[in-house]
Chain A
Amino acid sequence: MAVENITFWLDVVTLALALLSLILLVKNREYEKSAFETSINVLLFALLLMVLVKTIDVLSLIENVYPGVLDAIGIGDYMGNLVSINSVILLPLFAICLLVAVIFAKDTFSKIE
């Protein structure tokens, strides 16, 4: 129970930090060269996916900390599907986006040379 509690709160903090980092990254995008715009956009999309992943993680863990919350919201029945979507689609997509962002950045560096 304590472990789940700790994980839940850590995930909540992570979600908040991910959201904040998304906003800061959007702000920082203004100061970047236009050549890197594509790469940064892909990175932003990856971060958005991470936010979604963390949201689903938080939702999956909230039931353990505050039982009956999901049923009260009305998404208790879909949680299993959401968790499976999370690990089957969203996480690999996040990894792909990160990889694509790195590839784009590398390409841009080579073009700048």
Chain B
Amino acid sequence: MVMEILLPVQKYLTVVLLFIAAFMWLLLRKDRGEEGLSPLKINRAYTILVLLLLPYLVGVFSNFSEDIALVGRSFLTTLVFLSLIVVLVKLNKKSSKERTNYLKELLKESKKHPIRYEFARKIVVPELKKLHEKEEEIAKKKRKLDAKNKADQTALKSREDKIKKDILRYEGLEKYVNENLKLSETKKKSSEEKEKTAEAKLADIKRLQHSTDKKEDELIKKAEELKQKIKEYNDKEKELEDERENYKKEINKKSNETISRIKFEATQKIRHREAKFNILEEGVIAMRKDVLRREKNISPRVRRIERREKEVESRMSRIRMKESEIREALDNLQILKKKMSKEEKELNDAKEDFEDFRIDTESKQRKIDRIKEIYDKKNEALKRRESELDNLSSELNKRKRNLDEHEKRIAIKNKEAVLMKNKLKKEIEEAVLDKNKEKSDSDLGDIISEKPYKSKKANGGRR
């Protein structure tokens, strides 16, 4: 039920809306004309689309049969779209032609087209910026690569140095061990020699003991001889005996002490040397073991070093490859730079042209401003003069009015003067008449006019 009502209502609504749209558009078209609608290139398409009102109008408000209305509607719609397509195709061709012309003009260097600047500003400048950014990126990458290469090289050098140092140290250690071995041998020899010397010393000591024994015997002999002498000298004998005993004791003591000391020292030295020798022997053994262990340790290190050397070589080859790539990139960059410089030159030329144009326009603008100022000044002066003239004219008018009033006053005074003159004339005439009357009274026969007579009579009457 709702749909049954809604369907015709919506149809009418559609027609009304289309009618409003068509009315608005056609009114706009009438107001502005064909040239006024030129900013919108497809204004004809709007006009044709607005004409879609017709088929729907036929469909809703026609008195024809339903079939004819349907066919008519479809036919009109087809016609409208056909015309729309024709218009759009024409417009498309025209616009594309115009665009190609613009683009061709852009390519011509001699023509200063405003789009050239826009093109330069909107397309060339961002591209240049991108190029600069790419250049900077490449430079950064190059710097990074160089730094990395340097770091790798320094690390490799340091490793090489380390390895060399290790090798030197191991060589030194080897030498040291050999030297130590030699030293231990020499020390052994020297200890043997020292033993021999100690034995010789012992023999000397024995010899000394023997000699002392001999001396003792001699002394005993001498003592016996002395006993004989002591007999002679009893006091002295005891003393001598004491002395001899003391001396003997001392000698024994000393001899024993020296023998024991020398023996102790010799044995101590021998033991010490033996201990040293043992320690040295142990050290040598430990060193041998250490050398063997280090040799064992060095062999994987050497392998590692060799591996690293290979890696370094491979890295170096990679670095060389990268270097070649970088060189290529640099060459490309240089080409790009050349291109850019060319483009920059062109841009600079364009800028210069634009600057010239701007300067010309600015100078023209300045001239126009100056002319405007002069014109304004003149205008102001003219206005001032106009106002002065207005003032003068108003003053003139005032003066004119004053003069008119003056004239009027003069005219009135003239009139009054004329009247006064007439009056005076009359009075003079009357005075003359009075004189004449007095004369005629005296001289009979003078003819008197009727008028003075009447006035005279009247005056006489008043009196």
Indicate if the CB atoms of A10 and B92 lie closer than 8 Å: no
Indicate if the CB atoms of A25 and B13 lie closer than 8 Å: no
**In the complex, chain A residues whose CB is within 8 Å of the CB of B96:** 31
Q: Which residues from chain B sit less than 8 Å from chain A, CB to CB?
A: 3, 6-7, 10-11, 13-15, 17-18, 20-21, 24-25, 28, 32, 36-37, 39-42, 45-46, 49-50, 52, 56, 67, 70-71, 74-75, 77-78, 81-82, 84-85, 88-89, 91-92, 95-96, 98-99
Contacts A18-B81, A103-B24; A31 near B95 (Cβ below 8 A): yes
Indicate if the CB atoms of A13 and B39 lie closer than 8 Å: no
Contacts A7-B71, A28-B95, A109-B39; A102 near B50 (Cβ below 8 A): yes
Q: Which residues from chain A sit less than 8 Å from chain B, CB to CB?
A: 3, 6-7, 10-11, 13-14, 17-18, 20-21, 24-25, 27-28, 31-33, 35-36, 39-40, 43, 46-47, 50, 54, 84, 87-88, 91-92, 94-96, 98-99, 101-103, 105-106, 108-109, 112
A10 nearest CB across to chain B (Å): 4
The 5 closest A-B pairs by CB, nearest first: A95-B17, A31-B95, A17-B81, A10-B74, A24-B88
Partner of A92, one of B10, B28, B88: B10
Indicate if the CB atoms of A105 and B40 lie closer than 8 Å: yes
The main secondary structure of chain B at its interface with chain A is helix
CA distance A109 to B41 in the complex (A): 12
Partner of A17, one of B7, B39, B85: B85
Q: Which residue of A lies closest to B95 (CB)?
A: A31
CA distance A25 to B48 in the complex (A): 13
Q: Which residue of A lies closest to B25 (CB)?
A: A102
B54 nearest CB across to chain A (Å): 13
CA distance A20 to B123 in the complex (A): 32
A64 nearest CB across to chain B (Å): 11
Q: Which residue of A lies closest to B98 (CB)?
A: A31
**In the complex, chain A residues whose CB is within 8 Å of the CB of B32:** 109
Indicate if the CB atoms of A25 and B75 lie closer than 8 Å: no
Indicate if the CB atoms of A98 and B52 lie closer than 8 Å: yes
**In the complex, chain B residues whose CB is within 8 Å of the CB of A33:** 39-40
